[in-house]
Every structure is written in structure tokens, then in C-alpha cells.
């Protein structure tokens, strides 16, 4: 019997199952530097210990998406090694600031399961939680993946599709942000004259700039997250596959788009919640990513006079500038070259 | 009105204008590791805490050019986002050692402005200063850039071209170097048997080795510096442009040439001043960089029996080995494949 | 006379010669992050401070191969700058844990020398030792390289070929591992249900996954190790050479194969000794690396009830999956596409 991990198939999951994932990971300033080198992120709170400390943090917190990718990466060997597709995200909450030196681990709970009508695959819903060595929860989110059945003849289990929130209640946001001394917020250093009150529902922002992705970059990123999904790394196999080339980790696209969004959303310094997300089309090396945002909603957070929340749709495209805010066509299909439709809550200072 | 940064045009600058740049940046050992991975630098003082501490530093200081690139990167959104060309540097001084943990910010002052005769562009001169969170100045330098006018019809301002030093006075050098315990300087560990007294004015050194550059490398470097100049990142746009490919950040070339110069200048551990610099021709991914140096001058520094200064011309080429020290042709034009002509003061132990 | 390093030729080495290598190097969490990004290593002890501390380490130790590459890199300018081939390794021992903040230096002793029959080259044997700033030895190993003679006419020296151990005595293993509190070893977090007793002599494990290598990646890795061997970096010269392309540092292959081996050997957390190693064929950018392992032996370590040692053969291939465990053909030549045959002792918890 082989000692290698074959990954789990649809039949291996059961609702209520708890999975403790491997390889706890101490996050360091080395990871932060690599994250900066990979995406060019410029949000001031995550970039400067001095500025973060002045506002009320212990030091510069680790970028929210770096935390997300690390926690996500841990779940791959058990959840999505045999996944056909990563279908969606919901109910993501960032619960505590993560600092260099913190060690992150992940557990997942299977919360739903439904066989597809073709009998060959099924959808598995899991809630994954990232926590520090002292037990502090830093992130939880739900994702659902399409997984191959080991045996197409195996009987379909009773379908259980969890009810998922369409949007995180604003009351639940902001736990990862200490009460800010906003009198020390400095628009010049933050790179934006606009704060919470300057954004209005319905506003659209073209982030203008484009970023081309190389194979070396997305592979280094994905390995940094200890994400082992095979399709990102193996040209020998992928070259013979559907696309003829390695597929870029969807989270890499989210981070690129988020980084591009600094141009127009410079004070939206924190991702507090992930309402939903869909990887609409694949990205490959050589493609250039563009992004635009729409303010879907604005919200006050009770007990937080220092900050407010914007619900943002972040759309990424490949090889298509976003001056015309591409999203869907007349019949509701995603427009050509749209690759990401991501719905999240950002925190801004008042 | 768009919330994205359109950058400044020629009309937006006025002499005396002070610009506080965004995104203060805590430099870490992560940045240092990336700098090493990108350039392979081997200068011992910056590589070893133990060695640096023995000589009189608190710990290994951050490479001077990493400091330069980070400060430079901060100035891009306001100074050179619409720049047509980065024309030159002068008067650069490294004023204090920077250690991992220090947070760097940048301010710029506009010190000159002159419209070009075509009426479409002008030259803007700025002095940029990098400083730590406690206010310590670590670097200042002047650069001048050619910037587009927003409106070719707008009247030309009164021309003011600042007087710039052709060379930094040696008396002003060495502030970033503590008084060294040179009895602990170890030629073997430093990788060179040659010290200050071993170099003579007029000496030329071919640094022999060549280094090929990949797109992933220069983009990671440029993002590490949070430099957002568009031409480095966007193949979609640049593919349709003048060169058909992304342009490599000029500072990347300086760092490559400086790193190659270790072979022959291993004890020239510190860049104390930048007298001038010119990016003679562009570099693209796939090109191989070579370098050679000429000792333009040697100087004692008053009050510093421990160190001396070499004024060095550092020349980089692409796809052309430097055994014949290529620089200019008979009529004074730069020789083919010369890409950098950089004039700086290096500090060496006595 | 040029101040650049011409490297040593066969005539420059003499048995008993001690060489102190340049550029001591403080290892940091930045280096660790890059190592993770380059190879995707997932061994838990090296990844988590909290887990390592719970087991008995001060914090997460630096990956053994990162230590090896840094020490190896220091030896290149004096030992192998003019090497025609890196012929083999033997007698490698990891002697103390290395933590971020430790400064590594290297010395080499020439222990053997033998001219080749062609009169143009010779083989030089060196034992290199890596040590910390306080003198603690962390690693020693023997390697032998084929080096060009400066002058084919120079007389052959008396041949001295050192006697090298075929395998490190298990008694000598484990010095870099503190006595472990194995009751805190957690199979889930370690990513493997198998411990020392679960492996048997003769067992073969296909590590399944493949990893494609890009030029940017292997050059960043090799520069991170401050390894200056010319063939890895200079496409201008290598493009005209035997292979037409840059050659990937052999150590990069070892690290890739070791990282792939996590899938099947997740609890083999430490390389305690290198019995031998041979780079059978070169690797180039674009190639995909696969790996398999064979348990050559199992060994108890006297005085260590906590851990045991597996002697492992780690074989890497390029562009060839390893389900059939490729090694040698019928007449004893290495099979096509085998690139590495590496023999080491790994430590596992009991």
C-alpha cells in the first residue's frame, strides 16, 4: 500500500467530519516581503510598523489575503486534491489581526454534500478555520468544490446543501481591527485623500493599471502558501491537458486584483469579510490582469466610530482594460475575459 | 470624478513644492533575503550580523541600493507616473545606516522646472529625502525627469534649472558608516585582498561575469520597492508600444552591475554618494548584463582614519562582455550595448 | 594585474591546504520564506515555531538543505569556479540545528588530489565545514570536483585519493536534533500517519507529483545561496555553449526532490547525513522534476529512544513520472531522464 496521499474522493467526506490539516506555519516578515514582491501591495497599515503602531496595532499586521492563502493552502491535500473545480466561497470573516511570528493552523468541517446528476462527481461544502497556536481564530470561510467520486457506481448520499449567508452582517465585521486612533490616520501616507464617507453605493472605479503574470511568480506564490494543487506546477502533465499549460491558483488572481485596487481604494486597508467569490475563467502565464471595483453597499459598524465598511465587488479581467467596467453580457453570462467576481467587505477609516 | 491617481503633469509642479509620499515601509530581513536572491550580492558587511557587529555596526545594515530603491519607489506616483524619461541623478548621499525594522518614508521638494522647446514636455527637478520613523534622514538625492504637459497650449513657466554638484565633496561622505574597528576587517571573509590603498586613479576593472534577467525577476524586484511605474509590468500595453516588451526598471540595472562589481571590488562595501547616473539604453528580459568599473578618483575623508573613498564609474552593458571596457565611441556617443553610466563614491577599509 | 578572482586551477590546490571562504551569511526568516516559495517544502518541524518548540527545539530550525546550499555556495569561488564537473558528495553530517539569526561561515580543507590521464584536468577532494559565529560546527561534507589545469604541461602531482565512508555510521547521526518530546508529535499536523517503524528496508515510494522549473526560480535560488558558478546565470555565454542554455544548480534538484518526497515521507523531517550523491544528468528550465525514494536501510541510534534513521535513496527524473521507479538499465547505466541519485539518512520520530 502506498504511503503517498491519494487525496479524498466524494465518498470519503461525511457531514460533520472534522479534518485537522497538516503543516502549521509560522508567518514571518519573510512571507510579508515575498507577498509585497509578488503583488506590489501598498496598503499603508500592512506596510509600516510605525504607522500601524500609531493607529493602535501592535505592529503592521500581515495582509489579510496572505492569511487567507496560507489557511487555504493547508486545506488542499484533504479537501481539493481531487477537485475538478473550486466552485465558490461564502461567509468569510477575518477575526483577529495576524502578526509576523504567529503560527497558523487550519481545521475544516464538512457541512454539506450533494452528488451531481452525472453520478461521477459531487459537491462538498466545508467550513475551514484558521487559528493561531494559542487557539485564537483568525479566519473562517466556507468553500465548495466539485470532487470526483472514486467509484461512479457508489450510491448517492442524501443531499445536504448548507444555507449560506449571501452577505456577512456588518455587525460581524471589524474584529481584526483594533479601535483606531484615526486622528493619526494620514491621507498622504495612506496614498488616498478618500475615506469611508467619500464612497457612495453604486460608484464604480477603474483601477487602470495592468499586471502581467509569469509562471515563476504564480508558482512561487502558490508554494509560499504550501498549496499543493497539482495543476499549478506540472507542465509535463498540464501540457497534455485541457489548457496545454499550467493553471494559475485562483487566489493569486484575487491578490493581484486587490493590489491593483489600491489605485482608487488606497484607504480600504483591510478585508473584513468575504461574501462570495467566483473564479469565472482560468488565468495563464503571459496574461495581463486588470481590475475594477463597484461599491455594492456602505455600512456603519455598531460600536465603531473609527471605521466604516464598504461592500465591494472586485472584478478582474485578463488582457482587457476595465474602463468600461466589463462584467456580464445581455443574457447574464460573464463577459469575455472576465476571470474573477469577488464580493467582500473592506474597512476604511472615517 | 475618478478616485484613481492620474499622476502629476508638468503644470502641476511648482518650485518649492513639498510632496509627502505614500506608503511608509518597514524594511525587514525578508526584504534583505529577496535582495540577495535577486542580485546575489556578496558584500560581507551587509551579509553578516556577526561581522558587521564586530566592525562597529549594530547589526548588518541594509544594502544601500535597497534603501535607494525603496525611497525612489515611493516617489513614483507623484513624480514620474507620467514621466517620459528618467533623465539623471545627482547629489545623492547616504546619511545613516538602515537596519531591518526601520521604517522608511519619503518626501520630495521640487527644486527646478524647465519647459522643453517642443512645448509638449518639460523637465522637473526634485530632491527626494528618505527618512526613518524617528526623523533620521537616511538618503537624499536629486533626480530630474521629463514629464508630459497636460495641455501643450499651457504657457511655459519661468525656467529654473538648479545648480547641482558634479561630485559629492568627500568631506560629506561616510555618515552611514560607524567608526570601524578595522583590525577586525578580515580580507578572507570580505572576499578581497585589496583595500583602499590598493586602488589607483585610472584603474579599470572588468567584472567578468554576466547575469541574464527574466521578467519574473525584475517585476518582483520593482514590486518589492512598491514602484508602480506602468512600463515595467503590463505586457498587454507594452506589447503594443515602442519596444514591444516590458521595460526593466533602471535601478534594477544599477543593482545588477553593483552586485557583479563584487568581483574586483569586494571590499568596496558601501555606497556613500551618488554623483550622477544615466540610463543610456533600455534593458529587456532575456538580456545579459555585464559590468566594468573605473577608478575616477581616490579620496581621504577627514576625521576618518578607518576608511577611504573611491570615486567609481560603474558601466553596465547588455549582451556584451566588458574586457575592452566599452563606454563611448570616437564622437562621444555611448557605445552600442552600453546601458548604464553611473558615478558614485564607494567606501573601503584602510 | 586584475583584481578579479580567476578561481583556482588544479595546480593551485595542495593536500592539507585550508581555505577560509568569503561572505559570512546571517540566515533569516527571509531566507526561510524564499526557500518555501522556491520548493514548497512542508515538513512541519521547519515550518512551525510553535510545533518545533513543543518538541524540544528553540524554534523552527532552518531547513537542512538551505544550510547545505549556503555553505556550499561559499566554497564555489575557491573550489569550483573552474570546475568542469561536480563529481560527487560523501560523508556529509548535520551537526547542530541552525536557527534564523545564526551566521554561517565556511572553511574547506583539501584532502586529496589526482590528475586525470588526459593531463588536462584533475580531481580535487575537499572537506568543507560550515560553522556559526560562535564556532559551532553545523555541517561538514566531502565533495570532489574535476578542475581544469592552468597548464596542461605542468607535471602531475603524487596522487592522493582519500578513503571516504560509503555510508555514515548511524551512531554519528542526530546531533542536530534535540531529544524530542515525541508525545507531542502529531501525525495530523506532520501530514503523515507513518513513523519510523512503519518503513521497511526495500520499500519504494513514488512521490507522484511533478514540479516544472523556470529560469527565474533556479537563478533566484542559486543567488540566495550566494553561489556564483557562472553556468547558472549567463545565457549570453551558455547560449553558445554545449547545452545552449543555462544549467540548473544541482543542489536545486536535490531540494526539489526532497520537497516532493514529503508525499510519502512527511515524518522524515530531518536530513542527518549525506552518504553520497551524484548528479547523473543536467536539468534545464522548462523541465519537470519527479522523484521516488527507496528505503536502503533502517537504523536505531544509540541513546535516542525518540528517533530512528532511514537510509534513503532519493532519485529524481526529468519529464518522466516515477511510478516504475526508474534508476538503471540492464547494463548498469542510469536510465534515461534520471538526473539525481542521492543517498542520505533521514530522521523520523518513533
Give the pLDDT score at B85: 84
> What's the rounded Cα separation, in Å, for the pair C38 and C254?
12
Does C5 fall in a domain? no
> Which residues in chain C touch residue B33, judged by CB atoms under 8 angstroms apart?
28, 30-31, 33-34, 224
Give the pLDDT score at A292: 98
Best mutation target among B131, B136, B219, B248 (most A Cβ atoms within 10 Å) is B219
CA distances for A66 relative to A99, B84, C60, angstroms: 11, 35, 20
Does A215 fall in a domain? yes
- Contact residues, chain A to chain C, C-beta under 8 Å: 2-5, 20-26, 28-31, 33-34, 77, 100-101, 103, 105, 133, 214-217, 219-224, 226-228, 230, 233-237, 246
Best mutation target among B22, B225, B239 (most A Cβ atoms within 10 Å) is B22
Give the pLDDT score at B83: 85
The answer to whether residues B93 and B87 touch, using CB atoms and an 8 Å cutoff, is no
Partners of C20 in the beta sheet?
Answer: C107
Does B3 fall in a domain? no
At B135, is the secondary structure helix, strand, or coil? coil
Angle between helices C29-39 and B29-39 (to 10 degrees): 50
Mean pLDDT, residues A80-89 taken together: 88
Each residue's pLDDT tens digit, C138-184: 999 999 999 999 999 999 999 999 999 999 999 999 999 999 999 99
> What's the rounded Cα separation, in Å, for the pair B156 and B84?
18
Q: Do B191 and C22 touch (CB under 8 A)?
A: yes
Chains touching B, CB cut-off 8 Å, 3+ pairs: A, C
Question: In angstroms, what separates the C-alpha of B331 from chain C's closest C-alpha?
Answer: 28
Which residue has 528496508 as its cell numbers? C201
The enclosing H or E element of B146 equals strand B137-148
- Contact residues, chain C to chain B, C-beta under 8 Å: 2-5, 20-26, 28-31, 33-34, 77, 100-101, 103, 105, 133, 214-217, 219-224, 226-228, 230, 233-237, 246
Q: Give percent of chain A with pLDDT exceeding 90.
A: 97
Q: Do A30 and B29 touch (CB under 8 A)?
A: yes
Q: How many domains does chain B have?
A: 1
The answer to whether residues C78 and C110 touch, using CB atoms and an 8 Å cutoff, is no
Does A160 fall in a domain? no
- Alpha helices (H) along B108-246: 187-190, 215-224, 235-238
* Cα–chain center distance at B306: 25
Question: In angstroms, what separates the C-alpha of B230 from chain A's closest C-alpha?
Answer: 7
| Longest CA pairwise span in chain C (Å) | 64
pLDDT above 90: residue B6: no
Q: How many helices (H) and strands (E) does chain B have?
A: 9, 12
Does B201 fall in a domain? yes
Does A2 fall in a domain? no
Best mutation target among C102, C224, C233 (most B Cβ atoms within 10 Å) is C233
Q: Give percent of chain B with pLDDT exceeding 90.
A: 97
Q: Do A191 and B23 touch (CB under 8 A)?
A: yes
- Split at pLDDT 50, 70, 90, the class of A68 is very high
The enclosing H or E element of B264 equals helix B262-265
**Residue segments in chain C with a per-residue pLDDT below the cut of 50:** none
Give the pLDDT score at A253: 98
pLDDT above 90: residue B86: no
Best mutation target among C43, C50, C61, C204 (most A Cβ atoms within 10 Å) is C50
Whichever domain contains A287, its CATH number is 3.10.129.10
Mean pLDDT, residues B207-216 taken together: 98
- Split at pLDDT 50, 70, 90, the class of A126 is very high
Grid coordinates standing for A314?
472586485
At B344, is the secondary structure helix, strand, or coil? strand
Does B4 fall in a domain? no
> What's the rounded Cα separation, in Å, for the pair B291 and C45?
43
Give the pLDDT score at C83: 85
- Split at pLDDT 50, 70, 90, the class of B267 is very high
Q: Do A37 and B223 touch (CB under 8 A)?
A: yes
This model of the complex carries an ipTM of 0.97
Report the residue of chain B nearest A212, measured CA to CA: B234
Q: Give percent of chain B with pLDDT exceeding 70.
A: 100
Q: How many residues does chain A have?
A: 350
Give the pLDDT score at A84: 85
Each residue's pLDDT tens digit, B176-207: 999 999 999 999 999 999 999 999 999 999 99
At B192, is the secondary structure helix, strand, or coil? coil
- Split at pLDDT 50, 70, 90, the class of A85 is confident
Each residue's pLDDT tens digit, A280-307: 999 999 999 999 999 999 999 999 999 9
Domain range for B229: 10-349
pLDDT above 80: residue A64: yes
Q: Do A32 and B33 touch (CB under 8 A)?
A: no
Question: In angstroms, what separates the C-alpha of B71 from chain A's closest C-alpha?
Answer: 13
Does A159 fall in a domain? no
Q: Do B37 and C216 touch (CB under 8 A)?
A: no
Grid coordinates standing for C17?
591546504
pLDDT above 80: residue A1: no
Question: In angstroms, what separates the C-alpha of C214 from chain B's closest C-alpha?
Answer: 10
Q: What is the 3-state secondary structure (H, E, C) of chain C?
A: CCCCCCCCCHHHCCCCCEEECCCCEECCHHHHHHHHHHHCCCCHHHHCHHHHHHHCCCCCCCCHHHHHHHHHHHHHHHHCCCEEEEEEEEEEEECCCCCCCCEEEEEEEEEEEEECCCCCEEEEEEEEEEEECCCCEEEEEEEEEEEECCCCCCCCCCCECCCCCCCCCHHHCCCCCCCCCHHHCCHHHHCCCCCHHHCCCCCEEECCCCEECCHHHHHHHHHHCCCCCHHHCCHHHHCCCCCCCCCCCHHHHHHHHHHHCHHHHCCCCEEEEEEEEEECCCCCCCCEEEEEEEEEEEEECCCCCCEEEEEEEEEEEECCCCCCCCCECCCCCECCCEEEEEEEEEEEEC
Report the residue of chain A nearest B81, measured CA to CA: A209
Report the residue of chain A nearest B19, measured CA to CA: A188
How many B×C Cβ pairs under 8 Å? Answer: 140
Each residue's pLDDT tens digit, A157-197: 999 999 999 999 999 999 999 999 999 999 999 999 999 99
Which of B24, B224, B230 is facing A33, going by the closest CB pair? B224
Amino acid at each position: 500500500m502506498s504511503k503517498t496521499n491519494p487525496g479524498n474522493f466524494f465518498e470519503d467526506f461525511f457531514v460533520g467530519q472534522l479534518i485537522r490539516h497538516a503543516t502549521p506555519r509560522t508567518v514571518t516578515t519573510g512571507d510579508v516581503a515575498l507577498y509585497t514582491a509578488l503583488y506590489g501591495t501598498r496598503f499603508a497599515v500592512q506596510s509600516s510598523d510605525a504607522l500601524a503602531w500609531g493607529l493602535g496595532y501592535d505592529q503592521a499586521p500581515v495582509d489579510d489575503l496572505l492569511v487567507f492563502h496560507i489557511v487555504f493552502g493547508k486545506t488542499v491535500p484533504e479537501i481539493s486534491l481531487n477537485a475538478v473545480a473550486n466552485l465558490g466561497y461564502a461567509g468569510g470573516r477575518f477575526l483577529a489581526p495576524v502578526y509576523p511570528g504567529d503560527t497558523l493552523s487550519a481545521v475544516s468541517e464538512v457541512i454539506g454534500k450533494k452528488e451531481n446528476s452525472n453520478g461521477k462527481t459531487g459537491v462538498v461544502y466545508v467550513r475551514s478555520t484558521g487559528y493561531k497556536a494559542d487557539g485564537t481564530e483568525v479566519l473562517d470561510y466556507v468553500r465548495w468544490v466539485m470532487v470526483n467520486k472514486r467509484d461512479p457506481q457508489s450510491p448517492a448520499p442524501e443531499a445536504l446543501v448548507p444555507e449560506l449567508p449571501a452577505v456577512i452582517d456588518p455587525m460581524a465585521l471589524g474584529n481584526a481591527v483594533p479601535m483606531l486612533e484615526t486622528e493619526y490616520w494620514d491621507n498622504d501616507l495612506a496614498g488616498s485623500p478618500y475615506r469611508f464617507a467619500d464612497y457612495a453605493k453604486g460608484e464604480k472605479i477603474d483601477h487602470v493599471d495592468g499586471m502581467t503574470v509569469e509562471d515563476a511568480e504564480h508558482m512561487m506564490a502558490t508554494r509560499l502558501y504550501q498549496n499543493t494543487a497539482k495543476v499549478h506546477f506540472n507542465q509535463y502533465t498540464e501540457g497534455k491537458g485541457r489548457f496545454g499549460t499550467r493553471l494559475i491558483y485562483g487566489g493569486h488572481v484575487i491578490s493581484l486584483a486587490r493590489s491593483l485596487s489600491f489605485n482608487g481604494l488606497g484607504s480600504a486597508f483591510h478585508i473584513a469579510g468575504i461574501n462570495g467569490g467566483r473564479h469565472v475563467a482560468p488565468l495563464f502565464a503571459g496574461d495581463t490582469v486588470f481590475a475594477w471595483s463597484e461599491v455594492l453597499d456602505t455600512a456603519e459598524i455598531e460600536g465603531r466610530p473609527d471605521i466604516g465598511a464598504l461592500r465591494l465587488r472586485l472584478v478582474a479581467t485578463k488582457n482587457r482594460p476595465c474602463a468600461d467596467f466589463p462584467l456580464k453580457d445581455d443574457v447574464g453570462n460573464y463577459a469575455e475575459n472576465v476571470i474573477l467576481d469577488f464580493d467582500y467587505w473592506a474597512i476604511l477609516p472615517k
